[in-house]
């Protein structure tokens, strides 16, 4: 059960990370044109930083899943 939740959480976080990265890119482009997408609440670089942190968590979760599957495979 925990493996399934970890897998779902990892996938959701992966999508969120790419949405944040895309939003950061669009915000940067909009600011170059004199507009804003997120009304100035977040800088484009801050959105990319959040995206990077989320991707680090995804990588950590994936490595944990790989370790758990190798451990289960080795014990059989």
Please state the domain extents for the chain: 2-75
* HSE-up (13 A, CA, CB side) for residue 5: 2
| Distance between CA atoms of residues 6 and 13, nearest Å | 10
For residue range 28-49, list pLDDT tens digits in order.
999 999 999 998 888 999 999 9
At residue 76, does pLDDT exceed 70? no
Full-model pTM: 0.83
Q: Is it the case that residue 60 has pLDDT exceeding 90?
A: yes
């Amino acid at each position: 059960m925990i493996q399934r939740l970890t897998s779902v959480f990892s996938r959701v976080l992966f999508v969120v990370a790419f949405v944040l990265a895309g939003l950061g890119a669009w915000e940067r482009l909009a600011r170059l044109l004199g507009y804003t997408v997120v009304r100035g609440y977040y800088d484009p670089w801050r959105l990319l930083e959040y995206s990077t942190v989320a991707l680090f968590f995804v990588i950590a979760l994936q490595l944990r899943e790989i370790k758990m599957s190798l451990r289960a495979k080795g014990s059989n």
